[in-house]
Structure 1
Amino acid sequence: MATKQFIAMSIASPMVSVITCFYNEETFLEETILSVLAQTYTDWELLLVDDGSPDTSPAIAKRYADLYPDKIIYLQHEHHANKGVCKSRNLGVAKSRGNYIAYLDADDVWLPEKLQNQLNVFQQHPQATALLEASNYWYSWQSPQRSNVIIPIGSNEQDTLYHPPALILQLYPLGHGAAPCPSGMMVKRSVHQHILFVEDFIGPTAVYEDQAFLAQLYLHETIFVSSGCNNLYRQRQASQVFNVHQDGRYHRVRQYYLEWFAQYLNNHSIHNNEVNALLQKALLPYHHPLRFRVFHDIPSRIVRKIKRIARKLLNRVAA
C-alpha cells in the first residue's frame, strides 16, 4: 500500500517548479508565461506569485491558471499585500512540489530548451546542487537596431564545478566577474531546506536580493557554471536596477548589502581570510572614506592620468 502511495505522489509531483513573482508586469507577463508553456521539457509546474499588483497582471495570471489548472498555480499574499520579491519567492518555494526549482523574472523570457538543457547538466553532474548559466542581455526587444550581448558567468573556466567559497571570490559584488541573473539559475530542492531568499532586502535594497541569495549558494553549495545561455534578460529603463543607479542610491544599497554579508559571516561563524580581505576592501570607502581616498582613489586617478598622457605621447610619436 505504501509503495502505491509513493508512486501516486511521484506521478502527481512535477520534476521542476518554476517560480515567477510579479508586480505591475502587465506589459510582459504573458510573454514570460508563454515561454514556459513553450518548453520542450514538459514535466513542470509554474507558480505565479502576485506581489499585490494593482494593474491587470493578476487577471493575466489567473486566466492562465484557469486555462492550465494542472500546470499553472496563482498565488498571492494575504489581503493581496505587497511584501517584496523575497517574501514572494519564498512563498513560491513553500508551495512548490518539484525536485528542482527554477526562477523566471516576470519580464524575462526562456528559450524553449532551457529546462531540458539544465536538467541534462544535473544528470551529467549529480554532485552539483545549483546551476548558473550565462544570460543574453536583451536590448533588441525594444530597439531592433541594438545588438544583444551574452554575458557569461565570471571570467574563469566555464562548464565546470565550483566548490565553496570559490565563486564568491570571483564574482560580483566582491569579485570582478559577472554574476548570474535569476532567470538563468536552477537549484535542487534540497538547497531550499537551509537557504531561502533574504527578506530584509526590500524597497531600494531589493536590487541586491539575488546577491544575498547567491552569497549563500557560493558559501554552501557545489555549483556548476555553464557556458550555455537559454534566457533573455530584458534591459529596460523602468527597472529597479536602472532607477537605483540613476537617482544616486547605488552606493547606499551596496553598503547595506556588504554590511548584511559581514553580519551573515559572523552569525554563521564563517572565517575565510580571502573572503574577509575582499569584504574589508569593499567596505573601505564606506567605513573609512578618507583612508580609501588617500590610498586607493587618488593613486588610481593618478595612474589613469599617467596612462592617458602616455597614450597621447605615443600617438604623437606614431603620427
Structure 2
Amino acid sequence: MYKYYLQSVIIPVYNTVKWLDECLEAVYNQDFEGKFEVSIYNDSSTDGSLDLIRKWEKQFAEKSIDVVIGGHTSESPRGVGYAKNQAVQQCRGTYLSFLDADDVMHVSRIRKQYQAALAHPQAIIGSNFHRLPTGSTNRYTHWANTLTNQQLYTQIYTSHGPSLIMPTWFCHRKVFEKVQGFDEGGKGVPEDLIFFFRHLELGGDLYRVEEDLLMYRYHTEATSFSIHQDTIWNIRMKYIQKNVIDSWLTFTIWNAGKQGKKFYKSLSPENQKKVWCLILLNVVVK
C-alpha cells in the first residue's frame, strides 16, 4: 500500500501554531520531484494548530501533494513518541522524513537525503543543521556538525545524545519497522535516544549528509526540556553496559573525578567488579 509514495514527511504536532506556518511552507517549497505526502498527527492541540493544518491541506492540494491528518482530542497529549508512531502508521511512504513542527527544512532536504538513503538503505540519514536564535547551543551544534563518519559510531554514548540529531532523520520505512517504532512513555522519555540505540543494536547504519538542511529551533517549550539529565544518563549507562562493558573482563576508569565516580556507581555490581582502577590527576586509587 505505502509504496505508492516515494516519501512521507512525518510531523507530530502539539500546540505549535506559532511556528507551524513556517514549517509547512518549507515542506510545500521542497524541490523533490518524486511523489510524496505529508503525514501529520495532532496530539490533542488546543491552540488552533488543527485549523492551520486544514488551511495548509488545501494549499498542498494545489500541488497535488496529499496531506494525511490524524489525531485525538483527549484532555492530555499522549507524547511525541506516540504521535510519531501514529503519523508513520497512517502514512504510505517508502521513505520517512521526520520533521518537528517548530523546525524548518531547507528546500533541498528531501531530495538530498533521499539520494543518500538510496546509497545507504540500512541507515538513519542525518544532516548538518543550524540553530535559531543564532548562536544558541554553539558547542552542541559544532559537535554534531563536525563528527566524522567514524565518530558517528564512536561518540554515541556522549552526553549530547544521538550523534545524528533527531530533527534531521530520514530513513527507509523498513529501518523504522525493524526497531518497531518509538517508545511511547510520554513526557520525559527521550524516545529518539532509545530508538537510536536500538537501531544500532540491530545492526543499523548511520550516515550524515554534510550540508545544512535544517533550521533547528531552540526554545524553552521544546520537548527536550522536559527530559531530566538523569534519565538520559541512565539510558546511556544501560546501553553502554549491554553493548560494550558486559563483554569486557577488566577496565580502567580515567578522569575519575565527579563524572568518573558517578559512572562507577551507575555500573551494575558485576561490572563494578571489573574495574581495575580509577585514575585522577596521575593518582591511582586501587
1:90 is aligned to 85
Give distance in 1, aligned partners of 2:148 and 2:29: 31
Give distance in 1, aligned partners of 2:66 and 2:219: 30
Give distance in 2, aligned partners of 1:277 and 1:178: 25
What is the letter of the counterpart of residue 225 of structure 1? Answer: R
What is the letter of the counterpart of residue 16 of structure 2? Answer: E
Give distance in 2, aligned partners of 1:277 and 1:41: 50
Matched, 1:230 2:213: yes
Give distance in 1, aligned partners of 2:67 and 2:97: 14
Matched, 1:217 2:199: yes
Aligned length: 262
Q: Cα deviations across residues 179-208 of structure 1 (Å, max 9, x unaligned)?
A: 222221110111122213333432122xx2
What is the letter of the counterpart of residue 19 of structure 1? Answer: I
Deviation, structure 1 residue 63: 2.0
Secondary structure, aligned partner of 1:17: strand
Q: 1:43-82 alignment to 2 at 5 Å?
A: 43-69=35-61, 70-77=65-72, 79=74, 82=77
Give distance in 1, aligned partners of 2:143 and 2:112: 16
- Pair 1:170–1:210, CA change in 2 (3 A): same
Q: Cα deviations across residues 42-97 of structure 1 (Å, max 9, x unaligned)?
A: 42111111011111111111222244354212110375862111111111111121
Q: CA RMSD in A?
A: 3.8
Secondary structure, aligned partner of 1:180: coil
Give distance in 2, aligned partners of 1:177 and 1:61: 31
Give distance in 2, aligned partners of 1:80 and 1:45: 29
Q: Which runs of 5+ in 2 are unaligned?
A: 253-259
What is the TM-score normalised by the length of structure 2? 0.75
Q: 1:1-319 alignment to 2 at 5 Å?
A: 13-42=4-33, 43-69=35-61, 70-77=65-72, 79=74, 82-123=77-118, 125-140=119-134, 146=135, 150-151=141-142, 153=144, 156-158=147-149, 167-171=152-156, 173-174=157-158, 179-205=163-189, 208-219=190-201, 220-242=203-225, 244=227, 249-251=228-230, 253-258=231-236, 261=239, 265=242, 273=247, 283-286=263-266, 299=280
What is the letter of the counterpart of residue 187 of structure 2? Answer: G
Equivalent pair of 1:118/1:186 in contact (CA under 8 Å): yes
Deviation, structure 1 residue 261: 4.1
Deviation, structure 1 residue 273: 3.5
Secondary structure, aligned partner of 1:55: coil
Secondary structure, aligned partner of 2:212: coil
- Pair 1:28–1:131, CA change in 2 (3 A): same
Structure with a larger share of its residues in helix:
1
Give distance in 2, aligned partners of 1:239 and 1:176: 16
1:317 is aligned to none
Structure with a larger share of its residues in strand:
2
Equivalent pair of 1:197/1:209 in contact (CA under 8 Å): no
Equivalent pair of 2:128/2:210 in contact (CA under 8 Å): yes
1:3 is aligned to none
Deviation, structure 1 residue 271: 8.5
Give distance in 2, aligned partners of 1:72 and 1:38: 15
Pick the structure with greater CA Rg. 1
Secondary structure, aligned partner of 1:203: coil
Give distance in 2, aligned partners of 1:56 and 1:20: 16
Identity %: 18
2:256 is aligned to none
Deviation, structure 1 residue 103: 0.3
- Pair 1:94–1:242, CA change in 2 (3 A): closer
Give distance in 2, aligned partners of 1:198 and 1:148: 26
Equivalent pair of 2:237/2:266 in contact (CA under 8 Å): no
88-97 or 67-76: bigger deviation? 67-76
